[in-house]
Amino acid sequence: MKNNTVVITSTTCVTSLAEDPMNLWEELSKGNIGIDKLKKFDNNSYSCGFGGIASDFNFRNINVIGKNIMNRTNQLEFYSVMKAFQNTNFSENSLESCNLYLGNHIINIDTETMEIMIKLCYENDNINFSKLGTNLKSMSPLNGVKLLPTTPSHFIAKENNIHGKGDVVYSSEISGLLSLMLAFNEICSGNVDMAVVASSYNPFTPHEFLWLCDQGLIKKTSPDDDSKKLVFPFDRKHNGMIYSEGSAALILESEESAKKNGRKILAYIDGASSNIFAGETFYSLSKKGFSENINSTLENSNIKKENIDVIFSNAPSYPSWDDAELEVILDIWNENQVIISNSKSYLGFTGPVSGIIDCILSIISMNKNKYLPINNFEEASAKFEGKEKQYINCISKKDLKRSLITSAGIGGAYSSVCLRGGNVK
Amino acid sequence: MSEEKIVVTAVSSITPLGNSISEITEKLIKGISGISVITRYDLNDFPVRHGGQIDDSILNKISYPFEKVNLQFKLFYYCVNELFSKIAHNYTGSKIGCALGTDPNTSTIDDLQVLFKRYHDTTSKTYSKFDVTKLDNINPSFLMYHLSKNFGVNGPCLCNLGTCSASTQAIGTAYRLLQNKTVDMMIAGGVSSKTDPISIARLCRLEALEPTREDLNENCRPFDKKREGFTIAEGCVLFVLERESDALRRNAEILCEISGYGAALDGFSITDPHAEAKGMVWSMERAIYDSGISKDAIDYINAHGTATVKNDSHETKAIKKVFGEKAYNISISSTKSMHGHLMTAAGAMEVLDCIIAIKNKFIPPTIKYSNLDEECDLDYTPNVYKRKVINHALTNSFGLGGQNASLIVSKY
């Protein structure tokens, strides 16, 4: 069995704070927050009125034939992937056998289609979809295309001449890291030399956001709330997530291919794993799940826990999720030093994209040898007895060489990856 | 790459051709259609009212983890339950995974009524009492959650959303995860139930479906000159995949070997195949290369053969490009002519067709074939099955968005 070393040679992201990794790092270093009041639609009757919007993102200037078919989720993803290629010296021919892995979160029908259907089918306080039969022409022909999960892979393949395998995978909020694991395995096994991994998320359509509000993981807000004081990962004040939109992309290659083509190696991937451990409910995460997954990734990476210098944690500010993860980190690392970092207090929770964004931030963190403190953290809940303080916002490591990135989500889904700093300082 | 063979050791299916292997085998040999007028939904005002329907009464034979479950959940859960009742394994949960071809939204029309009404009531400020757990089963992760909760599956679990090639890709992913030893056992296949008014309406607007004809026997005619579109179908087909050595160790019956997988993106048109059928060609060539067999060793091609004008002519063109003159001597068929297009479960259904064909030494027919199309001039096994020993079968799945995937299913 071939066992190629797998490296990351390009990273990009679009977030509510910045549209590229280095600017994002700068914004985070300044302590800036990408969460604000939502103004996109009337959300007065929603339990939450805040979120992270990539307000500078503008797709109008992108010149792609047929771009009207892409919804905002697809636009964000397309943009990130295109930038990932622009950032380095890929020739069109070199991408012909490149694989593409997209881990998106696209569940609900788009608002336009939904509103048309309600208009056509609402009768006697009910929705009668059989009425569509006599109103077919009221639906746009593009309706059947706009919602295809393969729309972004089509445009990405077309614009970049990518003709490798195209996997569009979903496993709740771990879809991004799961995609990375699949790509890593394929390159490691020698099936392919290069792969693009991307993820995109836009929860801010009226009905999608309503659905998220109904699920109850979101923070209940009032219009007077301070947008800087909403997200408290691991802190005892945590009481719900704030969602954000965004996208991110990574280019993965075998080390041999990267070196042969003279590309900068931003990071090495040591290993990754993905698991499902069903909790009590569809929305629960458990200590067992985090523990099994993190240990599995350490084992797959052939790395001892003490070799991990920084953990970019999942903790989205939802109490039981944060606490389960923190307990496991404290159990595993115990007396060993490790820095726990987290991006959600700045950016909000970008669903499946968050794992990829955290990979990017961990790469910058290692290559700059600087850690990202957790914003809004004072102390964890009483049961931790302050033990967390030696890991959070406390410089306990001189050199940041290896990072662990964790991602978890509904359905008891867990994924994590071990990265090692590259040769870019 | 591991030299070890990846084998299929169990199958569970609910299909328009029946639910047991013997039933499906009989219909494939006799060329019996599972396509009928859709009765589950009121489609009277639609130009398309027919499809490949399952007999869902079987789903009432087991109990489900909660009271109100939708059809896709039942299909998946029933098949998983049957699979686990068939196999005696001692793998640890974290070494068992699942790859499932499905849609991003696994809701039924009832779920959508709840979802739409909730949105309507909120935006029109006529609030009603609402229980969000009723909508949990619109999320495909809900299937994986219950796979873990009720069957102890704790390894990597994913849904492949690759439209019509989703379950072929899911089986391909399972094959790879077993090859690189990430897992010891995979549940892989597909589920789909999209004969509802919304799905039919969307596909009608794309002009992808063939309108219902007066005589249903004239509907769904892959490779025939008078073909006018595909016939939608529903079902669930799941397999257990393992490494050969593990299967032998536990004395499992080995149904076939999955010996090759290839996939490719067209990057050409979101609705149509590549003009030069490039993605289809690459997908087949990569699968054959991956299997290590020669092109001459392929005895049978289970075509994607949807009965859309473009797919069938482009697939024919692609087969000719891959096999050259030999293309005219390969037995090909579109079993969709009998069971319709199971969408995200189509690839899994057609792997099952290949297993049955290999085990029973026959080429399933393409039924309802009567008019030669000069652009489709290969041997599609018209109307009557053919006796033949099959050592290696190639099965194709090509999806909207330019997704192409092929598998090599080999005799064991």
For A370-390, what is each residue's pLDDT tens digit?
999 999 999 999 999 999 999
For residue B131, what pLDDT is reported?
Answer: 80
For residues A95 and A344, the model is more confident at: A344
Residues of A in contact with B101 (CB under 8 A): none
- Least Cα separation, residue B61 to chain A (angstroms): 25
* pLDDT for B248 beyond 60: yes
Return the C-alpha torsion angle A116, A117, A119, A121, nearest 10.
Answer: 160
- Least Cα separation, residue B288 to chain A (angstroms): 14
A107 CB within 8 Å of a chain B CB: yes
| Mean pLDDT along residues A342-364 | 98
Return the C-alpha torsion angle B386, B388, B391, B395, nearest 10.
Answer: -10
* pLDDT for B1 beyond 50: no
Please provide the size of chain A in residues: 425
Angle, CA A27 vertex, CA A22 and CA A28 arms, to 5°: 95
- Least Cα separation, residue A214 to chain B (angstroms): 6
Total Cβ atoms within 10 A of residue A179: 32
Statement to judge: residues A117 and A255 lie in one domain = no
The rounded radius of gyration (Å) of the Cα atoms in chain B is: 20
Half-sphere exposure at residue A113, Cβ-oriented, CA atoms within 13 angstroms = 21
* Domain assignment present for A132: yes
- Closest residue, chain B, to A174 (C-alpha): B158
The rounded radius of gyration (Å) of the Cα atoms in chain A is: 21
Strands B331-333 and B300-302, how do they pair?
parallel
Residues of B in contact with A151 (CB under 8 A): 270, 401
Total Cβ atoms within 10 A of residue B218: 15
Residue B369 dihedral angles phi and psi, to the nearest 5°? -90, 120
Q: Tokens representing B105?
A: 């939204």
Q: Tokens representing A68?
A: 């009207």
* pLDDT for B119 beyond 90: no
Nearest by Cα to B100 from B297, B244, B238: B238
Burial string for B226-237 (b: 16+ CB within 10 Å, else e) reads ebbbbbbbbbbb
* pLDDT for B350 beyond 90: yes
CB contact under 8 A, B203 and A163: no
Statement to judge: residues A89 and A135 lie in one domain = no
The answer to whether B216 touches B373, Cβ cutoff 8 Å, is no
- 10 Å CB burial of residue A91 (0-12, 13-18, 19+) is exposed
> In the 3-class helix/strand/coil scheme, how is A326-361 assigned residue by residue?
HHHHHHHHCCCCCEEECCHHHHCECHHHHHHHHHHH
Number of structural domains (chain A) is 2
The answer to whether B169 touches B80, Cβ cutoff 8 Å, is no
Q: Tokens representing A30?
A: 């300044």
- 10 Å CB burial of residue B324 (0-12, 13-18, 19+) is exposed
Q: Which of A173-187, A387-401, B387-401 has the lowest mean pLDDT?
A: A387-401
- 10 Å CB burial of residue B245 (0-12, 13-18, 19+) is exposed
CB contact under 8 A, A214 and B2: no
Statement to judge: residues A232 and A333 lie in one domain = yes
For residue A11, what pLDDT is reported?
Answer: 97
A106 CB within 8 Å of a chain B CB: yes
Largest CA distance in chain A: 69
* pLDDT for A159 beyond 90: yes
Closest CB from A114, A132, A156 relative to B201: A132
For residue A144, what pLDDT is reported?
Answer: 72
Q: Give the whole-number percent of chain B exceeding pLDDT 90.
A: 88
Q: Give the span between the Cα atoms of A77 and A160, in whole angstroms.
A: 14
Statement to judge: residues A127 and A106 lie in one domain = no
* pLDDT for A146 beyond 90: no
Largest CA distance in chain B: 67
Nearest by Cα to B331 from B303, B311, B312: B303
* pLDDT for A251 beyond 50: yes
* pLDDT for A2 beyond 70: no
| Mean pLDDT along residues A10-25 | 97
* Domain assignment present for A365: yes
Closest CB from A145, A206, A275 relative to B94: A275
Adjacent-strand bridge partners of A244: A52
CATH code, domain with A27: 3.40.47.10
Closest CB from A114, A185, A273 relative to B180: A185
Range of the domain at A47: 6-110+147-421
* Domain assignment present for A1: no
Q: Tokens representing A384?
A: 């931790």
Q: Give the span between the Cα atoms of B301 and B303, in whole angstroms.
A: 6
Closest CB from A122, A149, A216 relative to B104: A149
Based on the residue annotation, tell me whether B146 is a catalytic residue of this protein.
no
* pLDDT for B240 beyond 90: yes
Q: Give the span between the Cα atoms of A77 and A350, in whole angstroms.
A: 13
Residues B65-84: tens digit of each pLDDT = 987 889 999 999 999 999 99
pLDDT, averaged across chain B: 95
Residues B172-201: tens digit of each pLDDT = 999 999 999 999 999 999 999 999 999 999
A2 CB within 8 Å of a chain B CB: yes
Nearest by Cα to A409 from A366, A351, A370, A367: A351
Confidence of residue B232 (pLDDT cuts 50, 70, 90): very high
A412 CB within 8 Å of a chain B CB: yes
Nearest by Cα to B83 from B189, B173, B233: B189
Statement to judge: residues A123 and A255 lie in one domain = no
**Residue given tokens 């892409």 in the structure block:** A70
**Residue given tokens 């979802």 in the structure block:** B115
DSSP string, B140-178: THHHHHHHHHHH---S-EEEE--GGGHHHHHHHHHHHHH
Burial string for B355-367 (b: 16+ CB within 10 Å, else e) reads bbbbeeebbbbbb
Q: Is the ipTM of this complex over 0.90?
A: yes
Q: Which residues fall within 8 angstroms of residue B327, CB to CB, at 6 or more apart?
A: B319, B320, B378
Catalytic residue among B50, B89, B339, B341: B341
- 10 Å CB burial of residue A173 (0-12, 13-18, 19+) is buried
Q: Give the span between the Cα atoms of B409 and B395, in whole angstroms.
A: 8
Q: Give the span between the Cα atoms of A171 and A412, in whole angstroms.
A: 10
Residues of B in contact with A67 (CB under 8 A): none
Statement to judge: residues A326 and A304 lie in one domain = yes
Statement to judge: residues A100 and A18 lie in one domain = yes
- Closest residue, chain B, to A299 (C-alpha): B182
Based on the residue annotation, tell me whether B341 is a catalytic residue of this protein.
yes
Q: Tokens representing B219?
A: 């509907």
Which helix (H) or strand (E) segment is B404 a member of? strand B403-410
Beta strands in A182-239 (DSSP E): 194-201
**Residue given tokens 């307000």 in the structure block:** A55
Strands B235-243 and B6-14, how do they pair?
antiparallel
Measure Cα distances from A91 to A7, A94, A291 in Å.
18, 5, 42
For residues A45 and B176, the model is more confident at: B176
For residues B115 and A136, the model is more confident at: A136
* Domain assignment present for A156: yes
Confidence of residue B2 (pLDDT cuts 50, 70, 90): low
Measure Cα distances from B170 to A301, B162, B257, B281 in Å.
25, 9, 16, 20
- Closest residue, chain B, to A3 (C-alpha): B1
The answer to whether A338 touches A309, Cβ cutoff 8 Å, is yes
- Least Cα separation, residue A423 to chain B (angstroms): 28
Q: Tokens representing B323?
A: 């096999």
* pLDDT for B299 beyond 80: yes
Measure Cα distances from A278 to A169, A282, A367, B153, B285 in Å.
19, 7, 36, 9, 40
CB contact under 8 A, B155 and A276: yes
Statement to judge: residues A198 and A246 lie in one domain = yes
For residue A425, what pLDDT is reported?
Answer: 60
- Least Cα separation, residue B30 to chain A (angstroms): 35
Based on the residue annotation, tell me whether B236 is a catalytic residue of this protein.
no
Confidence of residue A112 (pLDDT cuts 50, 70, 90): confident
CB contact under 8 A, B402 and A153: yes
Alpha helices in A224-318 (DSSP H): 255-260, 287-301
Statement to judge: residues A320 and A365 lie in one domain = yes
* pLDDT for A1 beyond 60: no
| Mean pLDDT along residues B50-60 | 95
Q: Tokens representing A225?
A: 């709330």
Statement to judge: residues A64 and A10 lie in one domain = yes
Q: Which residues fall within 8 angstroms of residue A66, CB to CB, at 6 or more apart?
A: A155, B270
For residues A177 and A208, the model is more confident at: A177
Statement to judge: residues A200 and A330 lie in one domain = yes
Which one of B110, B161, B198, B212 would you mutate to disrupt binding with A, by most A Cβ within 10 Å of its Cβ?
A: B161
Which one of B39, B69, B202, B280 would you mutate to disrupt binding with A, by most A Cβ within 10 Å of its Cβ?
A: B202
CB contact under 8 A, B42 and A130: yes
Closest CB from A139, A181, A214 relative to B132: A214
CB contact under 8 A, B402 and A107: no
Q: Give the span between the Cα atoms of A59 and A62, in whole angstroms.
A: 5
Q: Which CATH architecture has domain B6-104+140-410?
A: 3-Layer(aba) Sandwich (3.40)
A191 CB within 8 Å of a chain B CB: yes
Statement to judge: residues A261 and A273 lie in one domain = yes
